[in-house]
Structure 1
Amino acid sequence: MIARLRKFIPVLDWGRTYNAAAFSNDLVAAVIVTIMLIPQSLAYALLAGLPPEAGIYASIVPIILYAIFGTSRALAVGPVAVVSLLTASAVGQVAEQGTAGYAVAALTLALLSGGFLLTLGILRLGFLANFLSHPVIAGFITASGILIACSQLKHILGVEAGGHTLPEMIGSLVTHLGETNLITLAIGAGAIAFLFWVRKGLKPLLRSLGCGPKLSDLITKAGPVAAVVLTTLITWAFVLSSQGVSIVGEVPQSLPPLTMPGLSPGLIADLAIPAVLISIIGFVESVSVAQTLAAKKRQHIDPDQELIGLGAANLGAAFTGGYPVTGGFARSVVNFDAGAETPAAGAYTAVGLAIAAVALTPLVYFLPKATLAATIIVAVLSLVDLSILKKTWGYSKSDFSAVAATIVLTLLLGVEIGVATGVAISVLLHLYKTSRPHVAEIGLVPGTQHFRNINRHDVETDPTVLMLRVDESLYFANARFLETLILERVTEGCAIRNVVLMFSAVNAVDYSALESLEAINERLTDMNVGFHLSEVKGPVMDRLQTSHLLQHLNGRVFLSQYDAWVAVSGRPVEPVGRAMAAAC
């Protein structure tokens, strides 16, 4: 009972061996991540169309809940760029930004997302996320990065622009370009330039001045904080808010409040599908990061338990003034590099953010929104990877079509349509490819007991024996293809007396495929052609033995393909030559 409880509440497992050294390492990591998270949380709330405090609230209770239920020792949970964009897109369709209904809808979105993730975790259905292929995810994240960066240009320019798709955003920006606030532009552009320099040039500079690697890395990670402090002081000292520079303004000094999501059937119906998309995309991103970091320390990640941890985190956000959250790549890497030993580092980060929410929020009153926009732009541009188009084009045209369609449709029609289309294209392409499986006609490699494709190797064949290797599991989509292939091959006019199907690559045979195999057996029986199977895997044989196929099979089932060749060729193995195989 206790072991089972530890499985569902991992803190009971790693907490038993928690010691002073782990506490020290976790505390240092928490301080670094907290410094990084304060400007990030404010910025991502801005991206989601919510008040800045919502970003901090979404980074407190959710982190604690994940520390209790999650399995990753380094994953840092909270608001991330892509989920914030998806939140703005989904909530913007049911409520107007800046209204109470908008905030309630964001809470409802977190509730639905948390409930969906929790349900998947309890039912152990984490494998469903595998339907999002890597090319589709890469294309979606690239397109999202472009959309996010473009959506923040209005804050850099200091204009009122809108739109959810790239053409709408560009059109709105062009329309309002004449209203650009030059002071805001100077702050935003300066912050972008500074943050890019921090990323690329600050660490080498510090190392050249004699700073140690850890100190140099810490100062570099604190770069966004420096941009926040500097631009806030400039805005306050020169009263730039009176000259049209948009600032964060008053942020409540309080811990996360208890909030109640909207539960109206209409609102739930409107947000259900976006919640599912947010959940799956967030889970895929989170687990990918968690598994990558865990592998570096030979630790184990349980994807189904991760669903429960992320589900609990989102439910926590729903009732404490937040919005949907997931594990963030950048902050998780920082957490890992800073030496986090256990999920307790996340709990300490939550304490640091709680202190900031109570004591430090007045200090961001004069923080320019252009600085937060600059923080977002610099962060998300690292997500943009257009090289995926070149890579997939050279490797697989079908994967390229999925990536290209996802990017183009996400940019032109919005994030939800883009990712849904990408998933649909991936599934359809998979069905198409598996509906036409690779079936190789094989022959014996001279001097061995190995069989290879007659079109690739110089092999020995027999004109009276057709040997085919099926390189795909057989199911409803490809069963008829195999049936047609065999019957066409047998009726070409050659003196084929036996057909042998090599099943070494067949992992499953569904009922539709079973019926096709039975039909093949009946047709070949009518033609006085033997029908044989070889190298059938145990699980497949177990299934076939429950059917009537083996009872009525007019041939045999052989343990190896070589045994089948010796039995059906009817003569000593002789090099018949590739020409005879080609003539047949």
Structure 2
Amino acid sequence: MRLSRYFPILDWGRHYTGSTLTSDLVAAIIVTIMLIPQSLAYAMLAGLPPVVGLYASILPLIAYALFGTSRTLAVGPVAVVSLMTAAAAGTVAAAGSADYIAAALILATLSGLILLVMGLMRLGFLANLLSHPVVSGFITASGIIIATSQLKHILGIEASGHAMPELLSGLWANIADINGPTLAIGVASLLFLFWVRKGLKPLLIRIGLAPRPADLLAKAGPVFAVVATIVAVILLGLEERGVSTVGVIPSGLPPIGAPLFDAELWLELAIPALLISIIGFVESVSIAQTLAAKRRQRIAPDQELVGLGAANIAAGFSGGYPVTGGFARSVVNFDAGAETPAAGAFTAVGIAVAALMLTPLLQTLPVATLAATIIVAVLSLVDLRTPLVTWRYSKADFAAMAITIAGTLLLGVETGVIAGVALSLALFLWRSSRPHAAVIGRVPNTEHFRNVERHTVIILPHVLMIRVDESLTYLNARWLEEYVLEQVADHPELKHLVLMCSAVNEIDASALESLEAINHRLADANVEFHLSEVKGPVMDRLQASHFLDTLTGDIFLSQNRAFAELAKRTGSADIRKPELDPYGPRGLI
């Protein structure tokens, strides 16, 4: 087995050139400038000291560079995972306490171990348990909660909670205590950052800057806000007027050491760590695949699990908290020309330099500025259009999305995502237990077969042809029996029944028993039971059973062959007119 499969650096490292180094260094400088205020802000969102955000942006990036497969994914603290960390750690300790920090380290380590095990066992498919409506709904609701939770810092008041009712009641109870200077800094930062996202790039282009550097400068907008508000606090003496600042940030590299081992605490945090792992992986791999496709590259999802697992374990052993791939940073890294994961390692070096030398300059940074940075970043995650689109397309998927959004907003992030996953699985099981099936006939002058209720088709009076559009499993085995026998009861003249299996990819043991039962029931009614278009792997399974020995009819290679053969046996054919518009609201079947 090739080592490069588990150490992708051995693959891209062989082709590393001076030109690639230059591209990666330029991207790293730009991402470092962007990541410093983000890491401080997201650590604050997670209820941790700001320096923890810097720690989470050093060794995890190096670990991902060694094991990750995406050339441009920028790993580090992100808003949604920070919120989930705060919700999980807040159940075992008070925010900011030593026990709370220990819980964050445990969450990072547990998440890393879960991801690593999933990667080594090739369990990346488990992330599919989170359907797109659930993920979209969760991210939207999380964005709303995050933005609301930061309003207390914009207003300069106290409020707490991890769900909307608690947050809103806390804000309302303390609304009279708004701090004027804090509000001024917060609102000014918000307005500036919102303008930067849309207005700075066109302005820079108008004054002669090229589009690409103009775009990169616009994405570095939070740095300008940080510098400006630090200067304002110092010159105007705003700390004495009640403006909260981040305070003293310890200088130095991350502390290296194993997280606290308390078996009871680790068990208590296991489920939150699992949710953080899956949410983080889904978010990260989606970003990585999108960016890889733009350069016609590919990523290996199972190895991505290993890379993210290594990054989180590194965070747990270096004073950080759970990390994953960030959308905004990854896009900036991509646009800045990063060519390999080495750009992430160079970014880690830049953050380490900042932790060593720049932290004294940040101690007068207003908390309101960091809150504004978070609000502007997360509001881009809020997508209120998708629920409307989903409602029009699928009421069931909309229900899963709505439950996720409502559960997250009202009960918290863990409850919301669990409710969404549970409902998605329930809907999947319900759909699988009641697959679509249709009585079919041949479209005139073709070899195609379509639903008799939607198309003008040729049917044989003594032959019933049924198409089942789902694999046959224990979930729908009983339903299949009932459906076939109901159709037989409605066609007393029936002599042959053909089950078209073109959409059947599997027949499990329970479904096999149902097919045997159908065969016997039809035999008792003097009706021959036939199969058509059985796929090779399914046929292999049937040949390993006794079903074919007792089958009263034949197995036809194609549905058209079945039609032609049975037409010879039974004689005449009729034209059946459709009862529904084939292009109507239920779609073409």
Alignment of 1:108-187 (within 5 A): 108-187=106-185
Partner of 2:199: 201
Instruction: Give how far 1:573 is off.
Output: 7.1
The superposition leaves residues 230-285 of structure 1 with CA deviations (integer Å, 9 ceiling, x where unpaired) of: 00011011221111111011101101111331221111111000000000000000
2:47 corresponds to which letter in structure 1? Answer: G
Q: Does 1:284 align with 2:282?
A: yes
Partner of 1:412: 410
Q: Secondary structure at the match of 1:460?
A: strand
Q: Mind listing any 5+ residue stretches in structure 1 that lack a counterpart? A: none
1:577 corresponds to which letter in structure 2? Answer: I
Instruction: Give how far 1:524 is off.
Output: 0.7
Q: Secondary structure at the match of 1:577?
A: strand
Instruction: Give how far 1:494 is off.
Output: 2.2
Q: Please say if residues 531 and 554 of structure 1, whose CA atoms lie closer than 8 Å, have aligned partners that are also in contact.
A: yes
User: Structure 2: how far apart are the matches of 1:579 and 1:117?
Assistant: 56
Q: Secondary structure at the match of 1:500?
A: strand
TM-score by length of 1: 0.98
User: Structure 1: how far apart are the matches of 2:469 and 2:213?
Assistant: 55
User: Structure 1: how far apart are the matches of 2:417 and 2:167?
Assistant: 19
Q: Secondary structure at the match of 1:260?
A: coil
Q: Does 1:509 align with 2:507?
A: yes
Instruction: Give how far 1:219 is off.
Output: 1.7
Change (3 A) 1:344 1:529: same
The correspondence for 1:190, drawn from 158, 182, 188, is: 188
Q: Secondary structure at the match of 2:440?
A: strand
Q: Please say if residues 60 and 350 of structure 1, whose CA atoms lie closer than 8 Å, have aligned partners that are also in contact.
A: yes
Q: Please say if residues 452 and 578 of structure 2, whose CA atoms lie closer than 8 Å, have aligned partners that are also in contact.
A: no
Aligned residues, how many? 580
Q: Does 1:535 align with 2:539?
A: no
Partner of 2:4: 6
The correspondence for 1:335, drawn from 333, 336, 346, is: 333
Deviates more, 1:329-338 or 1:260-269: 260-269
Alignment of 1:369-388 (within 5 A): 369-388=367-386
Q: Does 1:354 align with 2:385?
A: no
Change (3 A) 1:577 1:412: same
Partner of 2:563: 565
User: Structure 2: how far apart are the matches of 1:571 and 1:160?
Assistant: 84
Instruction: Give how far 1:108 is off.
Output: 0.3
Q: Please say if residues 453 and 579 of structure 2, whose CA atoms lie closer than 8 Å, have aligned partners that are also in contact.
A: no
Q: Secondary structure at the match of 1:215?
A: helix
Partner of 2:71: 73
Change (3 A) 1:545 1:144: same
Deviates more, 1:567-576 or 1:464-473: 567-576
Partner of 2:94: 96
Q: Secondary structure at the match of 2:458?
A: coil
1:553 corresponds to which letter in structure 2? Answer: L
Instruction: Give how far 1:452 is off.
Output: 1.3
Q: Please say if residues 461 and 581 of structure 1, whose CA atoms lie closer than 8 Å, have aligned partners that are also in contact.
A: no
Partner of 1:457: 455
1:8 corresponds to which letter in structure 2? Answer: Y
The correspondence for 1:32, drawn from 30, 33, 52, is: 30
The correspondence for 2:213, drawn from 212, 215, 218, is: 215
The superposition leaves residues 48-107 of structure 1 with CA deviations (integer Å, 9 ceiling, x where unpaired) of: 000000000000000000000000000000000000000000000001112100000000
Q: Please say if residues 157 and 174 of structure 2, whose CA atoms lie closer than 8 Å, have aligned partners that are also in contact.
A: yes
User: Structure 1: how far apart are the matches of 2:123 and 2:192?
Assistant: 44
Q: Secondary structure at the match of 2:209?
A: coil
User: Structure 1: how far apart are the matches of 2:521 and 2:441?
Assistant: 24
Q: Secondary structure at the match of 2:229?
A: helix
Instruction: Give how far 1:430 is off.
Output: 1.1
Q: Secondary structure at the match of 2:308?
A: helix
Partner of 1:495: 493
Q: Please say if residues 35 and 222 of structure 1, whose CA atoms lie closer than 8 Å, have aligned partners that are also in contact.
A: yes
1:514 corresponds to which letter in structure 2? Answer: L
TM-score by length of 2: 0.97
Q: Secondary structure at the match of 1:249?
A: coil
User: Structure 2: how far apart are the matches of 1:87 and 1:494?
Assistant: 64
The correspondence for 2:264, drawn from 266, 271, 285, is: 266
Change (3 A) 1:517 1:581: farther
Q: Please say if residues 162 and 169 of structure 1, whose CA atoms lie closer than 8 Å, have aligned partners that are also in contact.
A: yes
Q: Mind listing any 5+ residue stretches in structure 2 that lack a counterpart? A: 581-589
Instruction: Give how far 1:571 is off.
Output: 5.0
Q: Please say if residues 42 and 53 of structure 2, whose CA atoms lie closer than 8 Å, have aligned partners that are also in contact.
A: yes
Deviates more, 1:451-460 or 1:567-576: 567-576
Q: Secondary structure at the match of 1:515?
A: helix
Instruction: Give how far 1:567 is off.
Output: 2.0
User: Structure 2: how far apart are the matches of 1:379 and 1:183?
Assistant: 23
> What is the identity percentage for the equivalent residue pairs of Structure 1 and Structure 2?
64
Which contiguous aligned blocks of 4+ residues in structure 1 show a shift greater than 6 angstroms?
579-582
